[in-house]
Amino acid sequence: MKPPRPRLLLPALLLAAVPAWAEPVNYAFDPVHSRVYWEVRHFGTSTQRGRFDAAPQGSITIDREAARGQVSLSVDTSSVSSGVPALDTMIRSANFLASAAHPQAYFVATQFKFDGARVTELRGEFTLRGVSAPLGLKAINFACRIDETLKREVCGGDFEGALVRSEFGSTFGLPFVDDRVRLLISVEGLRE
């Protein structure tokens, strides 16, 4: 066997010395550690709170080097839970979520803001009751870690934003049930 020729070895050494370009990384939402919560003011006094019991489905792609990403999230609207069964039935009705006609709500974001490698804000489009409108979510916190049990990277955080329900055709009870609905989304994604 002949030894490698120096002229062929040099390009291989140069390529090995160049750092690999960062590539987008994909994460799938962990259903155990991901939830969507909501809050709305009731008659100007108390705040009604609840969540969607079914974990959101979706994924996130992050390209830290290019400071961009993409999120795709869907929520089962029929899984809404306030802790009061009669209220849950009302919220699922055509007056509010219209779950029978529109069983899923969606959030798709392609505009990311970063502070270094940390995601600070997501901007995209939220679809509810078949109507889409812009929605921004600010990161209350965001971090990544290596899960020693899974031997995989986990990234996640808490995000908050607000929607105006009348923009999606839900006007029942205005102004007694507030038009502004605060969303709190807690997600963790497992690197694929």
Q: What is the pLDDT of residues 27-60, one digit of tens each?
A: 999 999 999 999 999 998 999 999 999 999 999 9
Fold of 23-191: Lipocalin (2.40.128)
Give the residue extent of every domain in the chain: 23-191
pLDDT average, residue stretch 169-183? 95
CA–CA gap between residue 97 and residue 128 (Å, rounded): 7
DSSP state of 16: H
Q: In this predicted model, what pLDDT tens digit does every residue of 56-80 receive, in sequence order?
A: 999 999 998 899 999 999 999 999 9
Indicate the residue type of 190. Answer: L
**pLDDT attached to residue 8:** 40
On whether the CB atoms of residues 172 and 144 are closer than 8 A, the answer is: no
Tokens representing 153?
């990277």
Q: In this structure, are residues 64 and 71 in contact, taking their beta carbons and an 8 Å threshold?
A: no
Look up the pTM and report it: 0.83
**What are the phi and psi torsion angles at 124 (to 5°)?**
-165, -145
